[in-house]
Homo-oligomer: A and B are copies of this chain.
Amino acid sequence: MQHFKLEEIMDMERRKRATLINYLSGFKSANLIGTKSKEGQLNVAVFNSVIHIGANPPYFGFILRPITVPRHTYQYINETGYYTINHIHKSFYQAAHQTSAKYDTNISEFEAVGITPEFKGDFFAPYVRESHIQMGMELKEIHKIECNNTFLVIGKAVEIWLPDNSIDEDGHICLSDQKTVAIGGLDTYYETSKLDRLEYARLQQNS
């Protein structure tokens, strides 16, 4: 095996280090976060850091990079308290990835990349119509991560939208059937196929 000490990692060229380190946590979720400013400007951006925080009630988190340049997602969530989380599927991952380009404040990434904003009921923030699994989120907590000035943003799902017949009687959804993609590193997209669903792990008898 190859061995890298911290000093060797820190000596790597900056972009190579960022590329490498981003793979090392394993697969990442692939979501679009939709927001709307107080003035009505729409924003959508790809995030590979959405994670499960808890189910009772349903909480999800994501990591925001340091606020050294304008971050519309952060600004609009902070000023309105609402956002949406939308799965990225195989059918539109290229357009989803393109939302990470640095568009001007007065440009909606929805229009720029050809993704469709959808307002449902009285929920404030825009959903992504192309997504089959969508959550309407209410901001709950923001934690500043001291070691590198990133933020963990936590919200509560106040509504969820799912395809008809996608949930079995025990609550399972097959993410590969839904064609939800996974991300490796910063820019590599993967499709998946199910290996197995394992039982809740119990102590083995006779062992």
Contact = CB atoms under 8 A, between A and B. Distances in A.
Interface of A: 1-6, 9-10, 12, 14-31, 48-61, 63, 85, 87-88, 90, 93-94, 97-103, 112, 132-133, 135, 140-141, 143, 145-148, 150, 152, 154, 156-164, 166-167, 169-176, 180-182, 184-204, 207
A152 B186 CA distance: 22
A132 to B, nearest CB: 8
Residue from A24, A90, A201 whose CB has the most chain B CB atoms within 10 Å: A24
Nearest to A160: B4
Contacts of A102: 203
A24 to B, nearest CB: 6
A184 B166 CA distance: 14
Contact of A97 (B17, B182, B198): B198
A55 to B, nearest CB: 4
Given A16-B170, A188-B196, A182 B26 contact: yes
Contact of A57 (B10, B171, B188, B193): B10
Nearest to A186: B200
Given A29-B28, A30-B27, A159-B3, A150 B53 contact: yes
A100 B170 CA distance: 20
A124 to B, nearest CB: 15
Given A147-B140, A147-B141, A159-B6, A167 B207 contact: no
Contacts of A3: 159-161
A194 B190 contact: yes
30 contacts: A1-B163, A2-B167, A3-B161, A4-B160, A9-B160, A18-B171, A19-B172, A21-B58, A24-B52, A24-B133, A24-B135, A24-B173, A25-B52, A26-B29, A26-B30, A27-B29, A27-B180, A28-B52, A49-B51, A53-B63, A53-B147, A53-B150, A101-B204, A184-B192, A187-B199, A188-B198, A189-B195, A189-B198, A190-B193, A190-B194
